[in-house]
Amino acid sequence: MFDTGDPVVLTVLGAASAAATVARAWIRHRTAIRLEQERTRRVLGALTGATRQGRAEVVRACAELEAKAARPGNSRRDAGR
């Protein structure tokens, strides 16, 4: 098997672990950015044609819909169960 005391093996394993950690953090970061862009796009689309007085209600309604969708059991994956 592998000699885990070998400095080269330890270096390679450490580098692989660090690279995996960085990749996971980057994916979480990019996912959060993408979700926020989608939220912004939906709200802007909903605001199209809204009166100045009605904008607050539209934003509030969008926030309520997103809150309901974020609850456990409300994902599309759960719809078929």
What is the Cα–Cα distance from 24 to 11, expressed in whole angstroms?
Answer: 20
**Does some domain include residue 38?**
yes
DSSP 75: S
Residue type, 71: R
Would you say residue 20 lies in a domain? yes
pTM: 0.64
Judge whether 80 lies within some domain: no
In a domain, 59, yes or no: yes
Domain that holds residue 40: 7-75
pLDDT by residue, tens only, the chain of 81 residues: 555 678 888 899 999 999 999 999 999 999 999 999 999 999 999 999 899 889 999 999 999 988 888 888 766 555 544
Residue 1: inside a domain, yes or no? no
Structure tokens at 29: 């970061």
Domain count across the chain: 1
Interior angle at CA 13, CA 12 and CA 17, nearest 5: 115
pLDDT at 81: 45
